[in-house]
Amino acid sequence: MKINPVSLLLALAFSALFTYLNSVLYSGDSLQTLIIGSGIPSAISWVLALAVSHENGRHSVNLRLVAMLFVGLVIAVNLLFATIGFTTPLFVIANGLITLIFAVVYQSIYKRES
């Protein structure tokens, strides 16, 4: 597993822009929760989708595809929460479950293919 530094910076920039978009769209009073809760899952997904490469080409493609699917899911869920409002526990639980499910799926594919 290798990390490309330029791709890492791009992934973190995408995550920061997405988090900023969420903060602009949100009009509630839990802005810090929204920024942290959308920034962490977004950063994890973007970094694993863009910056991490593996020795085996097929292995890398499968893991990037899973990561990009979760990027799309994180974007959709967080934009939904930012536009319609949310309760803090629901937001934390939803983002936590998405991130943990992503970690389990990514880990299982990584172990199966290595």
> What are 12-42's pLDDT values in tens digits?
999 999 999 988 988 878 888 888 988 999 9
**Closest C-alpha among 51, 29, 48, 42 to residue 95:** 42
Residue 35 CA, chain-centre distance (Å), reads 13
pLDDT exceeds 90 at position 60: no
pLDDT exceeds 90 at position 103: yes
Residue range(s) defining the domain that contains residue 16: 2-113
H helices within the chain, ranges in order?
5-25, 31-46, 57-84, 88-113
Provide the domain count of the chain: 1
Q: What is the pTM of this model?
A: 0.85
